[in-house]
Chain A
């Protein structure tokens, strides 16, 4: 087990370095970062001096080697836009993003399991149809649009919740709902179909034939198998959220997280901050993947994780 974890961590490190290398090259090849970081009126000398100051005059391999060397100490360089260490900016905004994801996906997961099970126990009944229809609706609406509709209803018209920002718990509700709606729909549908599948399997029928009550069949035997699928999807949702969904939600709700910061850093050509954000997100995704594998092992010891 320990060897497995070490090997996966090593693979993960290579993945993170690979991603970082791609971003490193792209940020330097597409457009000139110096042009983006300096005002239009800057002179050629000012541009040259600035390029030298931030090390952009060095050959690319040397720049990358230095970057990788600094990573050991989590030194991502100075954010040119923020005029402070990029790491400081990343670790200041990361908790906001994690909070948003935890609230959105956490609620989605907590609701999806009972909803999916309820729907599955009476397939094609009125409750099932209602849940399936709502799920389809949740899947087909684009996130930014959901966000704007929620703002219009709950903030502008009803004035129950704030439109944007992150000052109180009330500020978390609308962005978390926006973020969690599509995952909730997907997780509910998956739970529903997985439960229906399991309940039709011979072992369940046998157990029921022996007189075991329905809720025990579901709770003891079927649910464990269902959970594996649901958790896999939840992990995937977490990765999707980290690598993109939060950008949209954070922008619409002016939520001061990493996604919004990434967009601002890209707009300003702040390549050190962009690199730092990509590195941290890539590292998180690798860690989440590993954690999921281990979680499966805990749920079902038969799964081979060597």
Chain B
């Protein structure tokens, strides 16, 4: 009897030891909403491409999970040589997946290629101030701008670095080569993209060995896939399904929803009292609970992301005061007047619901609200066209560079594509802020800009939205403010 028992004990001991030595392979599957059209990191500006490429490529500047700018492939934050020149020291000992070294040549190639007009990069909206790059020595590079550009370091958080040689001749759109923690393995068009861990990664080998991206546009199908155990992470989980999935995580995201008010319009909207009434009429706290189940926060009195540079923390969210709103409408003689509210549906989380709820609140203070939920290309015309502006237009505004420049110039600047005012003084302040390189001075300017925007009620800011992710039980991951799905930050328990 004893011998078999001994054998068994020995076998168990051996087995346990055997298990303890090699780590269990960690393979995960992520469902993303759209298939990348190319893996060239310098062409598109679209969700699917970024979600994959953020793991293959790296940038000179990076961000922490909570959004602070920090060095990435650069050794440290850049130094400003003069108004239009920034110098970056590069990290030592970094190599691309094909063995090419990461050095000044690769930075110069990356910069020159992305700004080349022939390349027609969709990312130029983020990079159009950059005029060129020159090598100082192997580890030092200077980037020049067309004018003073205080947010150049943030822009370099956007620009992915490609290898000098392969970047010129290689098939970078199909077989990408970066310095990142994951290497490209395969792309079965229509089905999946597979990446594997880069064992030589300069910041240490990541925990997850292999990641498979599946392309599932339909949110219900993504949810089913997660419930069936096929996916480990799904994006854009609706708040009402948080309690259904095995595991979920949410984080304050980049998007702020806002209504742009037609300040220049004839009729009630030209009266600041009416615009103030519109802001006071909305019960934002009720909407956070009712529409988002708590997965959103009330915007801080202006439409800037709270983590973006320039956010004015002194501006309180608008109070909900329907009585005062009614009085203001009476005073302005706007009772019973009609206003037109335009938006779209399907592109942003609960946009139709937000529009309809706001319209209801505005009706309650005595206005007649006409809602138009438009098809996207028609909506773009309403938002950015030259024709008569709608009295109010719904926008989900996001800020990838996390700097107030984009948000202020797009919506507040009289020449901004989506602006509905002709306030020349405001425009001048925004122009000044854009080229002021002194950080303190620049921040003060933005604070003044947003104070003015709020005093005159140029917009009705609504919510800072949270990004919600559904996860399998074994996943462990804290999502990031900047929406990047960085696999190196994920791990799985078996």
Contacts and interface: CB of A to CB of B under 8 A. Distances in A.
Interface of A: 30-32, 35-36, 38-43, 46, 49-50, 53, 79, 81-83, 92-93, 96, 148, 151-152, 155-156, 159, 162-167, 251-254, 256, 260, 263-264, 267, 269
B214 interface: yes
Contacts of B225: 155, 163-164
Given A31-B378, A164-B214, A82 B38 contact: yes
A42 B229 CA distance: 41
A151 B221 contact: yes
Nearest to B221: A164
A44 to B, nearest CB: 9
Contacts of A38: 122
A49 B191 CA distance: 34
B295 interface: no
A238 B325 CA distance: 59
Interface in B119-152: 120, 122, 124-126, 128
Contact of A155 (B43, B220, B224): B224
Given A254-B216, A254-B221, A256-B191, A269 B228 contact: no
B179 to A, nearest CB: 24
Contacts of B221: 151, 163-164, 252-254
Contacts of A267: 376
A79 B173 CA distance: 15
Contacts of A53: 120
A264 B36 CA distance: 12
A180 to B, nearest CB: 19
B120 A165 contact: no
A269 B192 contact: no
24 contacts: A31-B381, A40-B418, A49-B117, A53-B120, A79-B37, A82-B38, A96-B190, A151-B228, A156-B227, A156-B228, A162-B230, A163-B225, A163-B230, A164-B230, A167-B188, A251-B218, A252-B218, A252-B221, A253-B221, A254-B217, A254-B218, A256-B189, A256-B190, A264-B217
Interface of B: 34-35, 37-38, 40, 43, 45, 117, 120, 122, 124-126, 128, 173, 188-192, 214-218, 220-221, 224-225, 227-230, 375-378, 380-381, 384, 406, 410, 417-418
A43 B375 CA distance: 22
B190 A92 contact: yes
B229 A32 contact: no
A269 B192 CA distance: 24
A155 B222 CA distance: 12
Nearest to A89: B189
Contacts of B45: 39
A279 to B, nearest CB: 20
Nearest to B34: A264
A155 B227 CA distance: 9
A173 B381 CA distance: 43
A167 B125 contact: no
A92 B190 CA distance: 9
Contacts of A43: 128
Contact of B380 (A30, A35, A46): A35
Contact of A31 (B38, B377, B418): B377
A233 to B, nearest CB: 30
B224 A166 contact: no
B129 to A, nearest CB: 12
Contacts of A35: 377, 380-381, 384
A164 B192 CA distance: 11
Contacts of B126: 41
A81 B128 CA distance: 21
A251 B410 CA distance: 34
A40 B384 contact: yes
Nearest to B118: A53
B192 A167 contact: yes
A164 B234 CA distance: 14
Contacts of A263: 217
Given A30-B377, A39-B125, A167 B191 contact: yes
Contact of A93 (B128, B188, B190): B190
Nearest to A82: B37
A269 B34 contact: no
A153 B35 CA distance: 27
Contact of A81 (B37, B230, B378, B410): B37
Contact of B377 (A32, A83, A164, A252): A32
Contacts of A148: 220, 224
A32 B378 CA distance: 9
Nearest to B409: A41
Contacts of B214: 164-165, 254
Contacts of A252: 218, 220-221
Contacts of B406: 41
A131 B221 CA distance: 31
B375 A83 contact: no
Given A79-B37, A159-B229, A164-B216, 13 more contacts: A30-B377, A31-B380, A35-B380, A40-B380, A41-B410, A50-B120, A151-B221, A155-B225, A163-B221, A164-B214, A251-B217, A256-B190, A256-B191
Given A82-B37, A164-B221, A155 B191 contact: no
